[in-house]
Amino acid sequence: MLWLIFSSSDAREHRSAQPAGNSHASDYSMTNFTMTILDVNGQPSRIIKGQKIAHYPEDDITKITFPIAQFIEEQKDTWLMTSERAETSGKGDEILLFDNVIITRKDNNNVELHTSKLNLDTIKNTLYTTEAVKMISPYGETNSVGLHAKLSEKTINLNSRVKGQYDAPSQ
C-alpha cells in the first residue's frame, strides 16, 4: 500500500483549460510543494519537495522543477538528491533527475556526487547513471563514467574510467 501526503504553500490546484487531446496540458499542478511517501507501516520513506510539480495525463508523466528528494530508512542515513528537473511516470517507481544532479547524505554532506542525469529506483532504493560522475570530498576528487549505488547498503560503485586524487589529511 502506498500513501501520499501533499502539502503546498500555493494550494491552488491547476486545471488546464486546453483541449484534452493536447499532450502538453496538465490535469493538475502545484507550486512550492512537499510530497511525503509513506511505507507499509505508515512511516515516511521518501520526501520530495520542489518548486513545481505537474502531471500530464496523456502519457502519465509527472514533471518536477527543482526537486529535492530524501530517501529515508529507519536507523540508516537519509540520502538527499537535488537537480534542476525530474520526471516520473505511473506510480513513480522510477524517478529520472536531470541537470546539475547532486547526491549527498543529509547528516554528512562532506562527500558529494555530481552528474547530469540520474535514475532512482524507488522500489530497490538504488540509483544509477551512465553519465560522467564527479565525487568531491574533503580529501580530493574522483571522476568516473557511470555509477550504481545501493542506498540501504551504503555502497557506491563507480563503473569505468575512474581517476582520482587523494590528499591525505595532515596529522
Q: pLDDT value at position 76?
A: 66
How many Cβ atoms from other residues are within 10 Å of residue 85's Cβ? 18
Q: Map out the domains of the chain as residue ranges.
A: 3-10+25-166
Q: pLDDT value at position 44?
A: 83
pLDDT in tens, 107-145: 777 888 899 999 988 878 888 999 999 988 888 888 999
Question: What's the CATH code, domain 3-10+25-166?
Answer: 2.60.450.10
